Amino acid sequence: MEPILETNGLRVEYRVQNGQGPKVAVRDLNLAVYPGEVFGFLGPNGAGKTTTMNVLLGFVIATGGSARLFGVDVREPIARQRIGYLPELTYYYKFLTVEELLRFYARVFGLSRDEADRRIDGLLKLVELEHARKRPIKTYSKGMQQRVGLAQALINNPDLLILDEPTSGLDPLGRMKVREIIQRLKREGKTVFFSSHELGEVETVCDRVAIINEGELKVVGRVSELVESHQANLEQIFLSMIGYKPEPVV
Amino acid sequence: MAGVSTQTFASVKSRTIYFWILSLLLVLSFTLATVLQPRAGTWTSRSGAENVLKVVLGDGRRLFANHFFVQADVSFHSGYYPSIFDHTALPKDSSPMIADSEQHDEHAGHACQGEHDHNSAKCSDDHAGCAHDHGEKGHEHDPHEKAMSFLGTPRDWVEAFGRRFMITEHTHLSAGNEREMLPWLKLSAELDPQRVDSYTVAAYWLRTLGKVDEAERFLRDGWRNNPNSYEILFELGRLYHEARKDIERTRNIWELALAKWGEQQANSDEPDLRALSQIAIHLGRMEESEGRLVRAVELLQLAQKASPNPEVLAKDIEELKHKATLPVKAP
Amino acid sequence: MNIVTALSGVVIKELYRRKDFYVLFILTALITLVMGSISFFNDARIARYLKEICLMLIWISALVIATTTTARQIPAERENRTIFPLLAKPVTRWHVVAGKFLGCWLASGMALVVFYFFFAVVSGTRDSHWPLLQYAQIVLLHWAMLAVVISLTLLGSVILSAPSSNMTICLVFVLGILLLGRHLNQVALEQPEPIRSLIYLVYYVIPHLEWYDVRDLIIYEHKLIAWSDCALAGLYAFVYSGFLLMGTWLAFRRKPLHL
């Protein structure tokens, strides 16, 4: 099976200000995500998760290696035609209403007016924002804004969803709803690639996970296989992969 | 219970303190205001100015007044007007203003001999008043026309193309449309009441447009603001003479103008001879038509001394002397 | 093209949901009406001073609207991070530059129509003169000029991250051209070499925005400009804007997305 998302020897370096050599954010990363799977991308802060996502979305140009979506180089805009992206925080035009925002993104994807209307109605129903469709986004609560994000990520009915910490900052009910939506997308055969700190959530939702630390891929595999091979739960595996050693209790 | 009452007491106490501090500050500020107010008047004249514009703009208003005065001239030329760069490009002695003055000085001798009268106070240093009877198009060999042909041939394609979007013809406002200059002159006078030209030029055009009452009111405003201005008095005299036909009042005003000129200019290093010549010629001509020939000769002789072209007046004086058949001494 | 027009739609919505345009329009209308209510020597037929003031206010307002709207577009996208979900779609940076330009230009054009309609009503009621073709010319030329101003400000917004400094620099630059652009060749002639050549170079390189200021032709009721000249001036503005937009894209292409 051809992977939907693929990186080969991906390397990203940043120039640093203080005159030292370049900082390596991602080091020879090889990843492959296959159609229909939910893939968890884990790592501590500064591990290179966001940088990798930025390369996949075309925000940052890789120093070396390659990254492909649907077999197309990520630098080609067409590679992003079939993906949906949910950023960690809500970055939307807050002077627009949710309906206007979704209509704007629908136009970006070249959807017809009828198709856009149909999708907007469906999505607003899915994220339970029908009642607030005519209100400017700036008047929404944080949870509502996060749901706007989910709706915009789904406007083009994407085959691959890239979610950057989709549940961060949400209350338990909000998290539950996001989880439900991810499960639903999985049932519909969509591929989901998401980063998270919530290991419990990853464990329940993901088919496979990858753990990255200091730009290097430490481990990748099915959650059940990892748990079995390491004889530990996901949290313990994660902590051992990032080199965390608990201090002895005095 | 005790804790609650202690808290309430503390809160009431702190509120009382704030109240007293506020009251004290209020009283202090009012006291200071009453002490400082009379003194503040002496610090600057701005606070005591009767004009809002003077308060807001201070002496900077003179700059705006000058701009509006020039704007009146721009308006008179329908937007065709030299910029400061065009002025520097012209030879020094061909500046439109100077050229204009020269032209009108040459006409000084013919003043008041008919409708073709260039020799008004307005002609002293502005276009707006000067070119009033140039007609729609200026004369071909007119120094004013020569000075206003400041554009010359385009130096490059940018300039050549740019001229298709700007006014390149020297025209003057057509009859009746001169009213369009008046707001600028009014604004100029409002901003700088000591700028005499604004009053005299506006009054000239108001009079020409048949708005004699408005012209008189405006000139009287100007006179109130400039009680020693012989230019305003001269213009006021013309108004009484030409529009009101009030000889007595005209005589009084022009005599006063002559006296004011004498007070201010007689001992000056560079006396304003143009103004003297104008006042004397106009008053002299009026006295001539009233049959007071002796006084008329005296005034024309005075004008002759002040005129750059005295020979033009010499013939008129001789004729008058002959008419009077009296031996007249030079003043 | 769909992406560019979609982006421009957002810019237009933004302009009309902010207060800048309304404040400037009300201010222009208020000052014009106050000035119009003043009676100068009891003559109600005096109209040109009012046209002059109204057009000056329109020019100031249009410049302020164009620069303020444009200067904050790309920096705001980067600062609020709205650029991320946008570029995660099949949108390129060229689309962003073109969409922002088109949006600002169309929004400024709409503002111009409103302002000039007000001007036409004020001057028409005053002097019963309705030179509609001349109004069309003045609006079109003004709009063409704003295309250059907007593309210039867009370029500035990619180079300078603070919208206020970009706006100030652009306004000074544009006003400088409007006031001095026509005379730079005269200034050059009075200078010794090599300053003369340098000033001449500047003279040929700067966009000659002063061509588009045809207010005097309206105020003083001069004849129409040849439509072919208007078309040439439009082409000049179009080419200049294209050049500046290309520069904007080149500068924005490798710019980090976040501030």
Whole-number Å distance between alpha carbons of C148 and C206 = 11
pLDDT at C121: 93
Q: Where in chain B is the domain with CATH 1.25.40.10?
A: 228-331
Confidence of residue B4 (pLDDT cuts 50, 70, 90): low
On chain A, the residues whose CB falls within 8 A of the CB of C87 are 57-59
Element containing residue B239 per DSSP (H, E): none
pLDDT (0 to 100) of residue C136: 93
* All chains having 3 or more CB pairs closer than 8 angstroms to chain A: C
Whole-angstrom Cα distance, residue A101 to residue A111? 14
Q: What are phi and psi of B172, to 5 degrees?
A: -120, 160
Indicate the pLDDT class of residue B45, thresholds 50, 70 and 90: low
* CA A84/CA A103 separation, integer angstroms: 15
Mean pLDDT on B117-121: 36
Burial A70-81 (b: 16+ CB within 10 A, else e): beeebeebebbb
Superfamily of domain B228-331 in the CATH hierarchy: Tetratricopeptide repeat domain (1.25.40.10)
Q: What is the residue-wise DSSP string for B48-60? A: T-S-HHHHHHGGG
Cβ contacts of C81 on chain A, cutoff 8 Å: 87, 89, 91
Q: Is B142 on the interface with C (CB under 8 A)?
A: no
Nearest residue of C to residue B186, measured between CA atoms = C40
Count Cα neighbours of A232 within 13 Å in the Cβ-side half-sphere: 9
Query: Using CA atoms, how far apart are residues C96 and B49, in angstroms rounded to an integer?
Result: 55
Q: Report the C-alpha dihedral over residues C46, C50, C51, C55, rounded to 10 degrees.
A: 170
pLDDT greater than 90 at residue C64: yes
- Chains C vs B: touching, with 3+ CB pairs under 8 Å? yes
* pLDDT confidence tier of residue B265, bands split at 50, 70 and 90: confident
Q: Is the pLDDT of residue B113 over 50?
A: no
- How confident is the model at residue A59, as a pLDDT? 87
Banded model confidence at residue B82, pLDDT cuts 50, 70, 90: confident
pLDDT tens per residue across span C120-148 = 999 998 888 888 899 999 999 999 999 99
Confidence category of residue C167, pLDDT binned at 50, 70, 90: very high
A38-42 sheet: strands from edge to edge: A83-86, A160-164, A191-195, A38-42, A208-213, A216-222
Distance between CA A162 and CA A79 in Å, rounded?
Answer: 13
Check if A157 contacts C (Cβ < 8 Å): no
Token output for A80: 């992003």
The predicted model gives B78-102 an average pLDDT of 56
- Please report which confidence band the pLDDT of residue B144 belongs to, taking 50, 70 and 90 as the band edges: low
- What per-residue confidence (pLDDT) applies to C161? 75
C216 CB neighbours in chain B (<8 A) are 78-79, 166-167
C114 in B contact zone (CB under 8 Å): no
Rounded to whole angstroms, the Cα distance separating B235 from B201 reads 9
pLDDT at B96: 38
pLDDT at C118 over 60: yes
Nearest CA in chain B to C216: B79
Q: Which of A81, A91, A149 sits opposite C90 (nearest CB)?
A: A81
Rounded to the nearest integer, the mean pLDDT of chain B is 75
Which residue would you say has higher pLDDT here, A174 or B145?
A174
Taking CA–CA distances from C18, the nearest residue in chain A reads: A95
Q: Are A96 and A104 in contact (CB under 8 A)?
A: yes
Residue where the block lists tokens 């709205």 = C82
**Percent of chain B having pLDDT more than 70?**
72
Other Cβ atoms closer than 10 A to B306: 21
Tell me the pairing of strands A23-33 and A160-164. Answer: unpaired
Quick one: closest CA in B to C43, which residue? B179
Tokens, residue A126: 């899915």
First to last CA, chain A: 53
Tell me which chain C residue has its CA closest to the CA of residue B163.
Answer: C211
Q: Does A249 or C107 have the greater pLDDT score?
A: C107
> In degrees to the nearest 10, what's the CA dihedral of B261, B264, B267, B272?
-60
Q: Do C49 and B180 touch (CB under 8 A)?
A: yes
- Regarding chains A and C, contact by 3 or more CB pairs under 8 A is answered as yes
Parts of chain A with a pLDDT under 50: none
CB contact under 8 A, B182 and C186: no
User: What residue spans define the domains of chain C?
Assistant: 2-253
The answer to whether ipTM exceeds 0.95 is no
Which member of B79, B182, B218 has the closest CB to residue C216? B79
Mean pLDDT value across residues C31-44 = 86
Distance (Å) from the alpha carbon of A218 to chain C's nearest alpha carbon: 27
Neighbours of C31 (CB within 10 A): 14
Q: Give the burial class of B211: count Cβ atoms within 10 A of its Cβ; 0-12 exposed, 13-18 middle, 19 or more buried.
A: buried
Q: Do B156 and C185 touch (CB under 8 A)?
A: yes
pLDDT given for residue B147 in this prediction: 65
Cross-chain residue pair C222–B164, CB shorter than 8 Å: no
pLDDT reading at B103 higher than 50? no
A32 forms beta bridges with A6
- Average confidence score pLDDT of chain C: 91
3-state secondary structure chain A: CCCCEEEEEEEEEECCCCCCCCEEEEEEEEEEECCCCEEEEECCCCCCHHHHHHHHCCCCCCCEEEEEECCEECCCHHHHCCEEEECCCCCCCCCCEHHHHHHHHHHHCCCCHHHHHHHHHHHHHHCCCHHHCCCEHHHCCHHHHHHHHHHHHCCCCCCEEEEECCCCCCCHHHHHHHHHHHHHHHHCCCEEEEECCCHHHHHHHCCEEEEEECCEEEEEEEHHHHHHHHCCCHHHHHHHHCCCCCCCCC
Q: What is the C-alpha to C-alpha distance for residues C164 and A203, in angstroms, rounded to an integer?
A: 49
pLDDT of residue C165: 92
Q: What percent of chain C has pLDDT over 90?
A: 61
Residue numbers in B near C47 (CB within 8 A): 180
Task: Look at residue B232 and tell me whether its pLDDT is greater than 80.
Answer: yes
Q: Let me know: does C40 contact C220? Beta carbons within 8 Å.
A: no
Task: Find chain C residues with C-beta within 8 A of B89's C-beta.
Answer: 186
pLDDT at B146: 65
| Rounded Cα–Cα distance for residues B32 and A61 (Å) | 68
Chain pair A-C, CB pairs under 8 angstroms: 72
The type of residue at B242 is E
What is the total residue count of chain A? 250
Whether C129 has its CB under 8 Å from any CB of chain B: the answer is no
Q: Which residues contact B297 (CB under 8 A, 6 or more apart)?
A: B284, B317, B320, B321, B324, B328
Measure the CA–CA gap between A232 and B304, rounded to whole angstroms: 121
Distance CA A227, CA B133 (A): 105
pLDDT at C110: 93
pLDDT > 90? residue B88: no
Residues A110, C13: C-beta atoms closer than 8 Å: no
Q: What is the mean pLDDT of residues B285-300?
A: 82
Q: How far apart are CA B150 and CA B146, in angstroms?
A: 8
Specify the pLDDT at position B20: 92
Residue B108 has pLDDT above 60, yes or no: no
Token output for C33 = 């009406």
Q: Which residue of C has its CA nearest to B68?
A: C49
Stretch C177-200: mean pLDDT: 89
**Which residues of chain C make contact with B211, given a CB cutoff of 8 A?**
41-43
B173 exposure class (CB count in 10 Å sphere: 0-12, 13-18, 19+): buried
Q: How confident is the model at residue B169 (pLDDT cuts 50, 70, 90)?
A: confident
Give the integer Cα–Cα distance in Å for B130 and B236. Answer: 18
Distance CA C126, CA C120 (A): 10
* pLDDT reading at C54 higher than 90: yes
d(CA A186, CA A180): 10
Pairwise CA distance, residues A169 & A150, whole Å: 14
pLDDT mean over B292-320? 79
Contact partners of C by the rule of 3+ C-beta pairs under 8 A? A, B
Whether residue B159 and residue C225 make contact (CB cut-off 8 A), yes or no, is no
Instruction: Please tell me the distance in Å from B77's CA to the nearest CA on chain C.
Output: 9
Q: How far apart are CA C147 and CA C152, in angstroms?
A: 8
Which residues of A are less than 8 Å from C254 in CB distance?
61
CA distance B316 to chain C (A): 39
For an interface test with C, the pick among A12, A14, A53, A59 (most C C-beta atoms closer than 10 Å) comes out as A59
Most confident of B92-96, B145-149, B177-181: B177-181
Residue C5 has pLDDT above 90, yes or no: yes
* Higher pLDDT, residue B61 or B306: B61
Task: Express each pLDDT in B196-223 by its tens digit.
Answer: 899 999 999 888 888 889 999 999 999 9
Is the pLDDT at B133 greater than 80, yes or no? no
Q: Which residues of A touch C92 (CB under 8 A)?
A: 77
Q: What are phi and psi of B185, to 5 degrees?
A: -70, -40
* Contact (CB<8Å) C210/B162: yes
Chain B residue whose CA is closest to C210: B162
pLDDT exceeds 90 at position B293? no
Closest to C10 (Cβ–Cβ): which among A91, A104, A110?
A: A104
Check if C197 contacts A (Cβ < 8 Å). no
Better-scored residue on pLDDT, B53 or A187: A187
Looking at residue A78, what is its pLDDT? Answer: 86
